[in-house]
Structure 1
């Protein structure tokens, strides 16, 4: 479509005023198309173009242990990239998936604290993280959100609540 319009426009025999008007209209059209494409990246609005924030999860959990997520492979890849960039300590403890979490909760002593994370579009992220959160809550943990400022990620710190003890 665009090549056809370019040929049609090129064939027009416009005077100086006509060319000026045509360039102005073309500029307005380009600005109306181009501007919204980058509005998501405005840091003042907290926008992100990507539908995930694995990098920020890696940065916030670098150095922590007992980390689990439904997309452990992608979280581990993000950790490796952040280590290569020097943004987190080297040799982070790998992320575990739902199966790893189930095994860990069955092997005493239970950790006093563990971390759950997921990233992606809101509905998919919640749907994937919910089973892991249910597992730890059933195991006696209380989870609280640690990344309220992230739009495409959830990071939960879960602390073990022993019977009769509260922190």
Structure 2
């Protein structure tokens, strides 16, 4: 599969953001309606490899963006503004209603103290929410779900 086609299809995975707001995901993976019809939901989209983060959420007003990416930079005409300085890739247009409603947030520049420069160890730290000097065998999402009261 050509790289550009892969990137387009990956961006379309943003369609997962269109989950009905009245559904909650519970352990076992079965969506259920909540009593009020709406749930507090966290949808975590993590791109591991292949994603061009600077074209997913682009620093559209930064002159260096176009200077350093003359053939890759999003054009202002196609970019979807999400503030004065940033824009989403046009493939994320289905997510704009969520953004406008205040139901979508983008976290940029997230890191952790004392990074060791190992990509693989960094993934472990993110997946387990562990300190850099501690190795855990369960992920933070698993621990959070196990800590919840059972329905």
Q: If the length of structure 1 is used for normalisation, what is the TM-score?
A: 0.19
Query: Which has the larger Rg?
Result: 1
- Higher relative contact order structure (alpha carbons within 8 Å, sequence separation ≥ 6): 1
| Structure with the bigger percentage of helix | 1
Q: If the length of structure 2 is used for normalisation, what is the TM-score?
A: 0.20
